[in-house]
Amino acid sequence: MTAEANYTYGASLLQQLESDPKSGEAYDALGVFALENDSPAEAVELFGKAIQLSGPEPRYCAHLGEAFAHLGDYARAAACIGQALVGAPSNLDLRLAYANLLHIQGDHDHAAKNYELLLVQSPNHAEAWFNLGVTRTIQQNPDQARRAYESALAVKPAYPEAWNNLALLERSDGNLAAAETAYRRALLIMPDYGDALYNFAILLQDQERLQEAIMIYERLLAVDPSFAEAHNNLGNCYLKLNRLAQAQNHFLETLAINASHKQAPWNLGFASLLMGDFPRGWSGYEHRLSQYEIATTKWNLPRWNGKLKPGCRILVHAEQGLGDTIQFARYLHLLRDAGMNVDVFCQAPLESLLASIPGLASCTSSLSSCTSTFATPQSGDCEVPFPSLSYHFKTHLDNIPNQVPYLFVDPAKRENWRCLFAAIPPAAKRIGIVWQGNPKHRNDHNRSIPFGAFAKLLDTPGFQFIGLQKNVPSIDIPDQVFDISPLLTDFTETAAAIEQLDLIVSVDTAVAHLAGALGKPVWTLLPYAPDWRWLLHRDDSPWYPSMRLFRQQIAGDWATVVKEVRKALLELD
C-alpha cells in the first residue's frame, strides 16, 4: 500500500469510528491499522477498547495478544491468545500461536501439550510437528524430537529447517553419514541457509575433512561476511593445513568483527608461534587463560607481572600437560638466579623429578600443602603458570634457555637402572620407544601412531627396542620389545631408565620432552599439523638441542615417517 493509500485508509477508519463511537469492530480495525504501522502500544489501547465495548471476542483477544507479542510482553500475549482459544478452541492458528508463546516463555510442557492438541485436529500440520520437535529437543527427549521432525518431513519434504534439526540429532547420536545426508537435503532446498551451512561445516571439520569444510565455510561467509565464528573456525581449518597466513587473516577478521571473541586471540597466538613469530605469539597465547578448556586453580595470589624482584616468593604452577611442565621448567633457574624464592606446584608424577632442580624453595603436588604455604600472602608474593614464563621472559628463537640438561637423574635410581641393564647385556644399541600419547589429549588421535605402523621399526637389525610405553596391556607388546613400563612408576624412574639408553624414538609425548630436558638423543615423530612448539619445516628443535624431528608430509601418513626413521637408524654409527 502506498503512503497516500495508507493515509486514506486510516482516515476512513477514523470516520467509521466517529459515526459509531461504541463500535468494537471499528476500534479493532484501527488497532490492526496501528499494528501494521508499527505502533503496537497504540494498538494495545485500541484492542483493549474493542474488548471493553464488545466483550472478549476471540478475534479481538487474538489481536491484543499479537500486539503484546510485538511489545515483547509474552506473558500477556499468551493470556490473550488463551482467552481467544476459549471462544474458538478449534482455531488452528490460535492454537499454534498459543503454543509458540508458551514455548518462548520456557513453558515447554504446556507448549508440547498444545502442539499435540493441534496435531490431533490436524495431523498434517508440518509447522506444528517441527515446533514440537524443537520443544522435545529442549526437553532432552531426542527420540520424540526425531519422530516429530520425521513427521514434519513426511508432510513437507522441502522443509530445510526440519532437515537441519534432524541432522543435529543424527550427529549427537553419532550417525555422521545420516547427519551429512540431512544437511545436504537442507542445502539442496535452501542453498544459502546459514544455520545448515554452519552446522554442516562443523560436521566436516570435526571429521577433519578440512578442504570440504573450507568450501562450506566460504559459502557461508559469502552469505554472511560478518559471521565471526565462521571466520574463527575457517582459520582453524587453515591452521591444521599449515596454511598459516590464511589462518591468521581469518583470526584477525574474527577480531575485527568481534573484538572480545574468546578463542581468536589464542588461535592467532598459536599460529604466530608456529611461524616462529614469538613476540606476537606469546601475547596471543596468554589469552588461553580465559578459555574454559583450561582448568586452573584459583590462587590467593596476584599474577606475576614479569618483574624480577629478589627476595619475593613466586609460585610456579602446572597448568596443562606433563610435557608442558617439563618444557617450561627450564625457566625456574632464571627466577632462582634472579634472587626470587621459587615454589613449584606440579603434577604428582613429576614432583620428585622437579624437586631435583637446585635452589627451589619447595616443590609439591599436594594442593592443600601448596595453598597452606600461601594462606597468608606476604607483600610481593605472586603466582604464574608454567607456560606463561616464556611470555614474561620475552622469549624469541634466539634466546630460548636451551642449555641441557636442566633436569637431573637421582643418583640412587641411576645406579639401580645401571645394574638392571648390566644384568641384560645388550646385543646392540638400546632404543627406547613410545608410540602413543595421552588419550585424553584433544589431538591424540593425530599425534599417536597405530602400533601396527610403528611396529615396522622393530625388525631393524642391530638394535634392542626398550618399551617405555605406559598403559598398554602386556599381551599387546611383541616379543621384540623389552618392556620396562611396569617399572616406570614416576618420572624419576623414567629419567633414570632413559639415561641408560642410546636413543629415544617417541611421538609427541612427555617422554620426548623428558629426554630432551636430560640432553639425551631423542627422535620425535610429528603429525602433519604439529603443536606450536615444533614450528614448521625444520628437523631440529630450538627447545632441545639433542632432538631430531621426523614429520608427516601428508596428513595421516605414518608409514612414510616410520620408513624414514628406520632408514635413519640404519645410518647410525
pLDDT tens readout for residues 220-250: 999 999 999 999 999 999 999 999 999 999 9
What is the arithmetic mean of pLDDT over 340-350?
95
> Does 239 share its domain with 320?
no
* Residue ranges making up the domain that contains 280: 226-294
- 189 close to 197: Cβ distance less than 8 angstroms: no
5: pLDDT strictly greater than 50: no
pLDDT digits (tens, 9 = 90+) for 197-216: 999 999 999 999 999 999 99
> Does 433 share its domain with 565?
yes
pLDDT digits (tens, 9 = 90+) for 525-550: 999 999 999 999 999 999 999 999 99
359, 392, 425: which is the final residue of a domain?
Answer: 392
> Does 285 share its domain with 321?
no
Report the pLDDT value the prediction gives residue 44, as an integer from 0 to 100: 75
Report the pLDDT value the prediction gives residue 292, as an integer from 0 to 100: 58
pLDDT digits (tens, 9 = 90+) for 263-322: 999 999 999 999 999 999 999 999 888 775 555 677 888 999 999 999 999 999 999 899
Q: What is the pTM of this model?
A: 0.86
> Does 264 share its domain with 325?
no
Q: 28: pLDDT confidence band, cut at 50, 70 and 90? A: confident
Q: 84 or 27: which carries more pLDDT confidence?
A: 84
> Does 431 share its domain with 548?
yes
Q: Which of 415, 416, 404, 440 is nearest to 515 (CA)?
A: 404
332 in any annotated domain = yes
- 490 close to 475: Cβ distance less than 8 angstroms: no
Q: Tell me, what CATH number does 374's domain have?
A: 3.40.50.20
Average predicted confidence (pLDDT) for the chain: 90
Which residue bears the cell 500477556?
A: 76
- Those residues with Cβ within 8 angstroms of residue 65's Cβ, 6 or more apart along the chain or in another chain: 76, 77, 78, 79, 80, 81, 84, 97, 101
125 in any annotated domain = no
Q: Indicate the DSSP class of residue 431.
A: E
DSSP-derived 3-state class of residue 77: helix
Q: How many domains does the chain have?
A: 3
Angle between helices 263-274 and 278-285 in degrees, nearest 10: 150
Report the pLDDT value the prediction gives residue 477, as an integer from 0 to 100: 79
Percent of the chain with pLDDT over 70: 92
82 in any annotated domain = no
Angstrom distance (rounded) from CA 559 to CA 555: 11
Q: Tell me, what CATH number does 248's domain have?
A: 1.25.40.10
93 in any annotated domain = no
SS3 content of the chain, % helix, strand, coil (to 5): 60, 10, 35
> Does 284 share its domain with 322?
no
Report the pLDDT value the prediction gives residue 427, as an integer from 0 to 100: 65
pLDDT digits (tens, 9 = 90+) for 477-491: 788 899 999 999 999
162: pLDDT strictly greater than 60: yes
> Does 424 share its domain with 555?
yes
374 in any annotated domain = yes
> Does 420 share its domain with 558?
yes
Range list of β-strands (E), 256-414: 313-317, 341-345, 362-364, 382-385
> Does 432 share its domain with 543?
yes
Q: 445: pLDDT confidence band, cut at 50, 70 and 90? A: confident
174 in any annotated domain = no
> Does 282 share its domain with 321?
no
329 in any annotated domain = yes
> Does 560 share its domain with 453?
yes
Q: Tell me, what CATH number does 547's domain have?
A: 3.40.50.2000
> Does 232 share its domain with 348?
no
> What Cα–Cα distance (Å) separates residue 203 from each residue in 169, 177, 181?
12, 10, 11
Q: 475: pLDDT confidence band, cut at 50, 70 and 90? A: low
220 in any annotated domain = no
Report the pLDDT value the prediction gives residue 63, as an integer from 0 to 100: 85
Angstrom distance (rounded) from CA 286 to CA 294: 12
